[in-house]
Amino acid sequence: MTQSLRCALVLTLLLRAAPGSPDLSELLERYDRESNGPAKNALAARIDAAAHQKYATVSRLYWHTDLASAKAAAHASRRPILHLRMLGNLDEDLSCANSRLFRATLYANHDVSGLLRERFILYWSSERPVPRVTIDYGDGRTLVRTTAGNSAHYVLDEDGNVLDVLPGLYAPAAFRRELEGSLALAARVRGKSEDERAALIVDYHSQQLIATQRVSAQLTAMPSMRRLLTEARVQSPIAAAQRGTITKSGIEVRDLRAIARELPLEDLSENQVEMWYTAGRMLYGTGDRKVTAPIPILDEDSRALVLRLHNDVPLELRATGRPVDAMIARLERTLVADSALNQLRLRPQIAREFVRRNGRTDFETLNTWIYAEVFRSPKQDAWLGLLPRNVFTGLVGDGVVSR
């Protein structure tokens, strides 16, 4: 086979695997024409398998699960790679809480999915399996949830070099804005030497830190916000991991308190959530904390998916009216609050690490540091803080079962 023919074959394979490829596009077109019923549901499952993501009929996104193929596609399209690092797998129902929230509130958002489809090559990988919690009521009813862990979006250049990191969950508008900055950095470093790339990365993150310090100075003029932004580091890893996310902790802390009362959980109070929401509005909304009208968060597509998932329960458990409005309102507020917490507390830690390393770090080294120091979920802790050995539970071996 000649070199030109080999290149043509590789390019053809990349295009078939890329967003908008004939395979996925054809399946989506068939799905849009299909009437509701078992055949359409079966087709949706095929699309999810082809796209490597649950609810791909909404997001219309294709995700690579192999870094080599993602880098090849990135080189062919001259796009950076958006690398989602998560617990569990994106094509499973029971992936980690943040990844489930990404699927429903970010990837389902029309503007976000458009940006991801047109400007990035998408790739996900798993940090470790996600812990699952089953509550058996003893009468045939069970609740199955996941707990612990966090997720991050890494922006890589075509060769897989890490340029930027967005930790945790963001509101859609905030996510788009931060990714636009990452895209600008990716454009600046393209074609540069290793030394030039490192210098540009350091400058970018140094400017991010300056901008964050400026916003923090404005916020700390408010006594309540000063306490929020300067509070001491929580010592307990499991408590720190939960306090590092707002939307996710609202899902998990209640379950953990029910099944593991010995854990030192210290979730954020409603007052603290409200203050982070205020900070998020100042960062991404009107900029005027006195304005009472809520900023729009979920668009029509993401709201529809949230409602579909929320009400996929027996008829007697389905929610309508005010309970649904309250659930959506709380979700939107915590998304804004999470955006502020990420920007003002988690992301600056990562920016300082980029600067400390002079813009030179590989993914594995940085990812290990982020999970250990930022997310407080180090790989060395196989139990993710869920098995404290300094508390007596009354269970044989604290309930540990090894296969």
Read out DSSP for 100-157? HHIIIIITTSHHHHHHHHHH-EEEEEEEEPPPEEEEE-SSS-EEEEE-S---EEEEE-
Confidence category of residue 376, pLDDT binned at 50, 70, 90: confident
Q: What is the pLDDT of residue 86?
A: 96
Mean pLDDT score of the chain: 84
Residue 213 pLDDT exceeds 60: yes
Q: What is the pLDDT of residue 132?
A: 87
Read off the pLDDT of residues 29-83 as tens digits, 9 standing for 90 and up: 999 999 999 999 999 999 999 999 999 999 999 999 999 999 999 999 999 999 9
The average pLDDT across 323-330 equals 91
Q: Strand pairing partners for 83? A: 123, 154
Q: Which residue has the higher pLDDT, 258 or 65?
A: 65
d(CA 263, CA 236): 9
Confidence category of residue 242, pLDDT binned at 50, 70, 90: low
Q: What is the pLDDT of residue 11?
A: 39
Residue 281 pLDDT exceeds 50: yes
Collapsing DSSP to helix, strand or coil, 82 comes out as: strand
Domain ranges within the chain, ordered by starting residue: 48-380
Read off the pLDDT of residues 57-71 as tens digits, 9 standing for 90 and up: 999 999 999 999 999
Of 165, 96, 226, 222, the C-alpha closest to 357 is 165
Residue 17 pLDDT exceeds 60: no
Q: What is the pLDDT of residue 232?
A: 58
**Lowest-confidence pick of 7-11, 49-53, 143-147:** 7-11
Backbone region of residue 375 per phi and psi (left: phi > 0; alpha: psi in -120 to 50; beta: other values)? alpha
Residue 7 pLDDT exceeds 60: no
Confidence category of residue 234, pLDDT binned at 50, 70, 90: low
Q: What is the pLDDT of residue 40?
A: 96
Q: What is the pLDDT of residue 35?
A: 95
Confidence category of residue 253, pLDDT binned at 50, 70, 90: low
Residue 295 pLDDT exceeds 70: no
Residue 388 pLDDT exceeds 50: yes
**Lowest-confidence pick of 14-18, 274-278, 335-339:** 14-18
% of the chain surpassing 70 pLDDT: 81
Residue 1 pLDDT exceeds 80: no
Collapsing DSSP to helix, strand or coil, 241 comes out as: helix
Confidence category of residue 135, pLDDT binned at 50, 70, 90: confident
Q: CB-based contacts of 178: which residues, under 8 Å, 6+ apart?
A: 166, 170, 343
Residue 331 pLDDT exceeds 90: yes
Range with the largest mean pLDDT of 228-232, 310-314, 363-367: 363-367
CB–CB of 85/151 below 8 Å? yes
Confidence category of residue 220, pLDDT binned at 50, 70, 90: confident
Q: What is the pLDDT of residue 384?
A: 75
